[in-house]
């Protein structure tokens, strides 16, 4: 029979009479009904037949005071976000208390819940800012996994390992998509003093390098009208005890002659080195002076993975990167932006200060303004150093082919006026260069050690295991410090420094995304197979977008650890759905 509702003394209506209204209410979200003071079995049956999945009723009429106390306790449990079944049990247990049982004996037997067998039990969902925030907090298993991923991402050794493979993937992507330009002549020429050059020059011990040989290279480059010459050899100690004792004097003489050429004199950039004890090693004053030359820091960061950039103090910093000063010399001497001061042997002021003063007078700024803002550290990067991190510190972009970055010629070929067309050598060469012709007028020339075993400030430390991306292009196991300086020079000059977004940041973003997807899918009916397809597609698209974004905007988005983080959350929800 249809349930009957008393609406006033002597007046009642049947559920049948309001069935259309109930159906409309159900469409608008009605999920649960409670009738707490009437004989409700027939009412419950009627409502269940109309499609309402859950109804709480009394199996027989009860005292109104009992009904009120029951309803108050029932609602109290609902507000604690318990489901209707647990709330009904709590209210019945409340009536079962000894005090209530004496007042309302056996009342706790009367409440009943009628429920469709496949229905999810109704409960009030948490609302409000703090309740909403609680849903986003990680559960125990999520917190453990997230903490593990964060700890894995923090060591610089792990970051370097992941970075090496990420840049390798970038170089492969460049090659596959033909986004490699080798048409333009690179703005720097490397003159490598390699093993063959040492053998042909009959140099018995290349450590330290014979300065008469360096002098001969300077003379040759001066004859070829080189505008800027960098020397990647530390000239900090006297060689008077070697051979005829005049090699220091001969090198100094060659440098000064190049500066005083009748046409436009050559600019020179030398290296300096700061060791772990804070001792600074500079070029000997008998060889060159800062009054008419430039001198930069030759340090390499993290085995040449990161750029050696300008400190937050900028132009006021005493020591500027060697590659930066090469790029500055190129802009001023070769591109001739303005008619800048030229080095003079009788100058009384440091040459760098002369340039800085002139730039400030002409532009109102300083020489660092000629380059990208990314070439200077920022407060966030500086702060991260205190945490043993390198957040947003630019990396060296080995995804670029060396052919885009530099030309290269062995020193012996330069001295013998030979190019590749004139040499028939079966020996594998580290670098090859076509005829020099007029190129030196538009290139910085950098004299560097050429991967011989003892090269470096300490024996062999100039030879570094090739990053995977560099090895992809060259098939060479060794990358030299000079080649790294050439890459940094390229990045400074082109105002394109690649900024890596920290893995830590992207792990946290992936965790938020994964948690959001979990909250959306927890009550959805999406099939596990479609979920796997969707997330696989998402991570693949993210990977492709990050590869192209790297080329277009010089931002490196990490892929591996953020993807692992997202997949962890997805596997958690998949496991739950499979077990449902």
Q: Which pLDDT value is given to residue 523?
A: 67
Token representation of residue 566: 């997202």
Q: Which pLDDT value is given to residue 562?
A: 97
Which is nearest to 404 in space by CA: 186, 554, 176, 188? 186
Count of C-beta atoms within a 10 Å radius of residue 561: 20
pLDDT digits (tens, 9 = 90+) for 370-389: 899 999 989 999 999 999 99
Q: Which pLDDT value is given to residue 293?
A: 96
Which is nearest to 330 in space by CA: 530, 484, 486, 200? 486
Q: Tell which wins on pLDDT, 68 or 322.
A: 322
Q: Which of 48-62, 93-107, 262-276 has the highest mean pLDDT?
A: 262-276
H/E stretch holding 273 = strand 267-274
DSSP state of 331: I
Q: Which pLDDT value is given to residue 438?
A: 64
CB-based contacts of 98: which residues, under 8 Å, 6+ apart? none
pLDDT digits (tens, 9 = 90+) for 259-269: 998 667 899 99
pLDDT at residue 103 greater than cutoff 80: no
Q: Which pLDDT value is given to residue 319?
A: 81
pLDDT at residue 426 greater than cutoff 50: no
pLDDT digits (tens, 9 = 90+) for 346-366: 999 999 999 999 998 888 888
Parse the chain into domains and list their residue ranges.
Answer: 4-115, 133-152+501-579, 184-420+427-498
pLDDT digits (tens, 9 = 90+) for 395-409: 999 999 999 999 999
Whose tokens are 């050598």? That residue is 425
pLDDT at residue 420 greater than cutoff 60: no
The DSSP annotation for 277-288 comes to TS-EE---TTT-
Q: Tell which wins on pLDDT, 447 or 432.
A: 447
pLDDT at residue 436 greater than cutoff 80: no
- Lowest-confidence pick of 146-150, 172-176, 206-210: 206-210
Q: Which pLDDT value is given to residue 499?
A: 97
Q: Tell which wins on pLDDT, 307 or 577.
A: 307
**Strands 228-231 and 444-449, sheet pairing:** parallel
Distance CA 311, CA 309 (A): 6
Read off the pTM: 0.80
Q: Region 512-520: what's the mean pLDDT? A: 90
Give the Å distances, CA to CA, from 24 to 6, 35, 467: 22, 19, 68
pLDDT bucket at 2, cuts 50 / 70 / 90: low
Distance CA 272, CA 558 (A): 34
Q: Which pLDDT value is given to residue 432?
A: 60
3-class SS at 327? Answer: helix
Mean pLDDT over each residue of the chain, to the nearest integer: 86
486 exposed, middle or buried (CB, 10 Å; 0-12, 13-18, 19+)?
A: buried
Q: Tell which wins on pLDDT, 128 or 426.
A: 128
Q: Which of 77-91, 227-241, 327-341, 510-524 has the highest mean pLDDT?
A: 227-241
150 exposed, middle or buried (CB, 10 Å; 0-12, 13-18, 19+)?
A: middle
Q: Region 136-162: what's the mean pLDDT? A: 94
Q: Tell which wins on pLDDT, 332 or 421.
A: 332
Q: Which pLDDT value is given to residue 188?
A: 95
CA dihedral 27→29→32→36, nearest 10 degrees, is -90
pLDDT at residue 491 greater than cutoff 90: yes
pLDDT at residue 476 greater than cutoff 90: yes
DSSP state of 306: B
Q: Which pLDDT value is given to residue 307?
A: 96
Distance CA 90, CA 475 (A): 74
pLDDT at residue 301 greater than cutoff 60: yes
Q: Which pLDDT value is given to residue 29?
A: 80
How much of the chain, in percent, has pLDDT values that exceed 70? 89
pLDDT at residue 56 greater than cutoff 60: yes
pLDDT at residue 529 greater than cutoff 70: yes
């Amino acid at each position: 029979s249809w349930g009957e509702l008393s609406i006033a003394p002597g007046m009642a209506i049947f559920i049948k009479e309001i069935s259309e209204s109930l159906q409309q209410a159900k469409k608008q979200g009605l999920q649960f009904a409670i009738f707490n003071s009437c004989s409700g079995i027939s009412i419950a049956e009627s409502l269940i037949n109309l499609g309402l999945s859950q109804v709480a009723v009394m199996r027989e009429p009860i005292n109104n005071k009992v009904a009120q106390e029951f309803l108050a306790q029932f609602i109290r449990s609902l507000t604690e976000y318990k489901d209707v079944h647990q709330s009904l049990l709590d209210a019945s247990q409340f009536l079962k208390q000894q005090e209530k049982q004496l007042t309302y004996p056996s009342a706790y037997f009367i409440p009943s819940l009628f429920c469709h067998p496949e229905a999810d039990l109704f409960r009030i969902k948490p609302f409000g800012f703090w309740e909403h925030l609680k849903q986003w907090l990680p559960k125990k298993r999520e917190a453990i996994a997230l903490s593990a991923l964060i700890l894995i991402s923090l060591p610089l050794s792990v970051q370097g390992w992941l970075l090496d493979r990420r840049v390798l993937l970038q170089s492969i992507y460049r090659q596959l998509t033909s986004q490699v330009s080798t048409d333009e002549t690179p703005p720097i020429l490397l003159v490598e003093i390699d093993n063959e050059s040492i053998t042909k020059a009959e140099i018995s011990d290349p450590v330290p390098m014979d300065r008469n040989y360096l002098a001969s290279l300077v003379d040759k480059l001066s004859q070829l009208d080189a505008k800027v010459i960098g020397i990647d050899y530390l000239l900090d100690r006297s060689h008077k005890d070697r051979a005829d004792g005049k090699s220091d004097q001969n090198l100094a003489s060659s440098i000064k002659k190049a500066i005083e050429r009748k046409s436009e004199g050559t600019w020179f950039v030398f290296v300096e080195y700061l060791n772990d004890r804070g001792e600074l090693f500079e070029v000997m004053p008998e060889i060159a002076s800062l009054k008419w030359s430039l001198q930069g820091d030759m340090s390499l960061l993290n085995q040449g993975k990161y750029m050696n950039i300008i400190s937050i103090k900028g132009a006021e910093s005493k020591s500027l990167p060697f590659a930066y000063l090469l790029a500055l010399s190129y802009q001023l001497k070769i591109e001739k932006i303005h008619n800048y001061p030229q080095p003079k042997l009788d100058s009384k002021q440091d040459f760098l200060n002369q340039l800085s003063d002139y730039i400030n007078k002409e532009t109102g700024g300083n020489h660092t303004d000629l380059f990208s803002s990314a070439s200077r550290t920022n407060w966030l990067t500086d702060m991260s150093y205190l945490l043993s991190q390198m957040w947003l510190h630019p990396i060296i972009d080995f995804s670029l082919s060396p052919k885009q970055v530099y030309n290269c010629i062995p020193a012996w070929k330069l001295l013998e006026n030979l190019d590749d067309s004139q040499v028939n050598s079966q020996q594998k060469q580290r670098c090859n260069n076509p005829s020099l012709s007029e190129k030196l007028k538009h290139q910085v020339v950098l004299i560097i050690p050429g991967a011989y075993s003892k090269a470096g400030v300490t024996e062999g430390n100039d030879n570094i295991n090739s990053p995977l991306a560099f090895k992809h292009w060259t098939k060479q196991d060794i990358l030299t410090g000079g080649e790294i300086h050439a890459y940094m020079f390229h990045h400074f000059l082109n105002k394109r420094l690649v900024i890596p977004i920290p893995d830590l940041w992207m792990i946290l973003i992936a965790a938020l995304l994964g948690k959001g997807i979990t909250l959306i899918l927890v009550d959805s009916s999406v099939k596990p197979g479609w979920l796997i397809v969707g997330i696989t597609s998402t991570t693949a698209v993210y990977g492709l977008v990050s590869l192209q974004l790297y080329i277009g905007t010089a931002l490196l988005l990490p892929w591996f650890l953020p993807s692992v983080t997202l997949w962890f959350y997805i596997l958690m929800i998949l496991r739950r759905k499979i077990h449902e």
